[in-house]
Amino acid sequence: MSRKSEFQQSNPNPSTKFMEWKSEKKLFEHWDREQEKNVATKLPFKFLTLMELHTVKGWHDNSESGIYANEVKFIGQEELTVKSFKGGLIAKGLYKEIKDDVKNAGGHYTKSVYVMLEDGSIANIQMKGSVVKEWGDFTQKTRSRLPDEWVIIKDFESRKKGRIEFTVPTFQFDKSLNAKAGKLADESYGILEEYMKVYKGSDNTPEAKPVTDDEDYIPNQVPDNNVDDLDF
């Protein structure tokens, strides 16, 4: 810790955008605080993966407010503290032990993927439902390539589950980092790592936009080696 940091009151999340896939619109959106509206990021969209974490998001009908939780690296070993903004604590414990309470309250598993954009800024992609599965299928056999190659989303695929039609982004590798991008990536990761050290084990949320009902949420299996029984 530096001398000046001793007097800082907080260590804000370094992400400039908190992005979600909008199935009907076939693109990513993030909440812009200055404009006070959702802003679209059209395809193609390119990023470098920095860090993958697990959390819970959703909507709590009883308190009419969003659901949030701390972020953890190992969801089978680290406790989640799940709350709603207006209703307080919903559940606390390992996800496999509290997932029924979480689901009954309106929450769902979310993969929180921190990425570096082409300009060197940090963003957060909040994946849920079928987008989690799509990402898991993409990275399952290619994880060793993630630190050194850009990921690009050029298109989407239409899917159907029962009567529900939806879309998912399609992930693919673009090209390897050059020296300049590699240096930016190291710097971005260092900033993110320092932030995580401060907030490790806390119940702070990186949510930067109002949370509304999850009409786009599609249940699906989460392909995660740390979890045996997630049914989203």
The pLDDT assigned to 5 comes to: 52
Q: How would residue 10 be classed by pLDDT, with cut points 50, 70 and 90?
A: low
Across the strands, what pairs with 125? 19, 113
Q: Environment class of residue 23 by beta-carbon count within 10 Å: exposed (0-12), middle (13-18) or buried (19+)?
A: buried
pLDDT beyond 60 at 208 = no
**pTM for the whole structure:** 0.82
Q: How would residue 4 be classed by pLDDT, with cut points 50, 70 and 90?
A: low
Q: Which two tokens stand for residue 79?
A: 């406790």
Bond preceding residue 44 cis, omega within 30 of 0:
yes
Q: Report CA-CA distances (Å) from 70 to 38, 47, 74, 172.
A: 24, 24, 12, 29
Q: Environment class of residue 140 by beta-carbon count within 10 Å: exposed (0-12), middle (13-18) or buried (19+)?
A: exposed
Residues 226, 205: Cα–Cα separation, whole Å: 22
Residue type, 111: K
Residue type, 144: S
Let me know: does 32 contact 39? Beta carbons within 8 Å.
yes
Residue count of the chain, please give it: 232
Q: How would residue 27 be classed by pLDDT, with cut points 50, 70 and 90?
A: very high
Of 105, 77, 71, 112, which Cα lies nearest the Cα of 93? 77
Q: Environment class of residue 216 by beta-carbon count within 10 Å: exposed (0-12), middle (13-18) or buried (19+)?
A: middle
Residues 60-97 pLDDT 10s:
999 999 999 999 999 999 999 999 999 999 999 999 99
The pLDDT assigned to 2 comes to: 54
Which segments of 91-178 does DSSP mark as H helices, in order? 95-105, 130-139
The pLDDT assigned to 53 comes to: 96
Residues 159-199 pLDDT 10s:
999 999 999 999 999 999 999 999 999 999 999 999 988 87
Q: DSSP per residue over 162-199, as a string?
A: TTEEEEEEEEEEEEE--HHHHHHHHHHHHHHHHHHHHH
Phi and psi for 212 in degrees, rounded to 5? -120, 180
pLDDT beyond 90 at 219 = no
Q: How would residue 141 be classed by pLDDT, with cut points 50, 70 and 90?
A: confident
The pLDDT assigned to 12 comes to: 80
Domain boundaries, the chain: 12-34+43-199
pLDDT beyond 90 at 225 = no
The pLDDT assigned to 203 comes to: 44
pLDDT beyond 90 at 206 = no
